[in-house]
């Protein structure tokens, strides 16, 4: 076969390969919330976690972050999500600049609003570490990602833009307390709770 005849076929193959790559990327990021691409799955603890739900945290009329929850199995029940064994992940993508201390304070308040006084007392060592972590991170910029992961056998791991922020939190109750910020009886926002439990109608 001559080079002249081969060239169009090579070009067509290259176009097909590029199109396939684009389709693959689109499939991986099937959702787009306020310009934030949201993965349909995450790999954690040797398992593939499906996206349980995604939503937007508002404060007054301002969009603060996009939250995405990944669980071993999808569920629309908050208590089931909290009690479910196995790895779990919550991703927060900032939609506006916030101070680290402000976010740390809101997370602590969210836990306090959803656990008993006795439970809160037991969480104080972990909460002190959490507060110190965000106090050191002076600013969280638009687009930065805070990832909260629970890995069985390791504990709770917090990443900021993909960088682990210290050693794992070994308190077995800490990740569940964190999830209660969004899924507890007094959630940060009722609309966001519904979205994280799979109600796509309120994800924006």
Tens-place pLDDT, residues 119-163: 999 999 999 999 999 888 878 999 999 999 999 999 999 999 888
61 and 2 housed in the same domain: no
Q: What is the CATH number of the domain that holds 162?
A: 3.50.70.10
139 and 71 housed in the same domain: yes
Which structural domain, as residue segments, surrounds residue 72? 34-202
11 and 84 housed in the same domain: no
DSSP 27-95: HHT-EEETTEEE-SEEEETTEEEEEEEEEEEEETTEEEEEEEEE-SS--S-HHHHHH--S-EEEEEEES
* pLDDT of 9: 52
19 and 83 housed in the same domain: no
Backbone angles phi, psi at 37, to 5 degrees: -70, 135
157 and 190 housed in the same domain: yes
169 and 84 housed in the same domain: yes
15 and 73 housed in the same domain: no
103 and 20 housed in the same domain: no
136 and 112 housed in the same domain: yes
- Counting residues of the chain whose pLDDT is more than 70, the rounded percentage is 85
Instruction: Name the pTM for this structure.
Output: 0.84
101 and 192 housed in the same domain: yes
Q: Is the pLDDT higher at 11 or at 40?
A: 40
Could you report the per-residue pLDDT of 156-188, keeping only the tens digit for each?
999 998 888 889 999 989 999 999 999 999 999
- Give the Cα-Cα-Cα angle 173, 177, 178 (nearest 5 degrees): 120
> Number of structural domains, the chain?
2
Q: Model confidence at 31, in pLDDT bands (50, 70, 90)?
A: confident
10 and 91 housed in the same domain: no
124 and 174 housed in the same domain: yes
């Amino acid at each position: 076969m001559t080079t002249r005849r081969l060239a169009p076929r090579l070009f067509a193959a290259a176009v097909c390969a590029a199109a396939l790559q684009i389709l693959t990327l689109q499939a991986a990021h099937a959702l787009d919330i306020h310009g934030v691409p949201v993965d349909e799955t995450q790999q954690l603890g040797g398992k593939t976690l499906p996206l349980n739900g995604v939503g937007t945290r508002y404060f007054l009329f301002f969009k603060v972050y996009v939250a995405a929850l990944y669980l071993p199995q999808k569920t629309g029940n908050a208590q089931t999500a909290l009690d479910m064994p196995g790895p779990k992940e919550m991703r927060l993508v900032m939609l506006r600049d916030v101070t680290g201390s402000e976010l740390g304070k809101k997370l602590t308040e969210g836990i306090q609003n959803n656990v008993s006084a006795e439970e809160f007392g037991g969480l104080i060592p972990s909460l002190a570490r959490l507060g110190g972590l965000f106090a050191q991170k002076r600013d969280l910029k638009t687009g930065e990602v805070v990832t909260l992961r629970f890995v069985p056998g390791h504990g709770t791991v917090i990443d900021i833009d993909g960088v682990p922020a210290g050693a794992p939190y070994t308190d077995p109750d800490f990740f569940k307390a964190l999830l209660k910020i969004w899924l507890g009886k007094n959630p940060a926002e009722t609309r966001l709770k519904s979205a994280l439990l799979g109600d796509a109608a309120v994800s924006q």
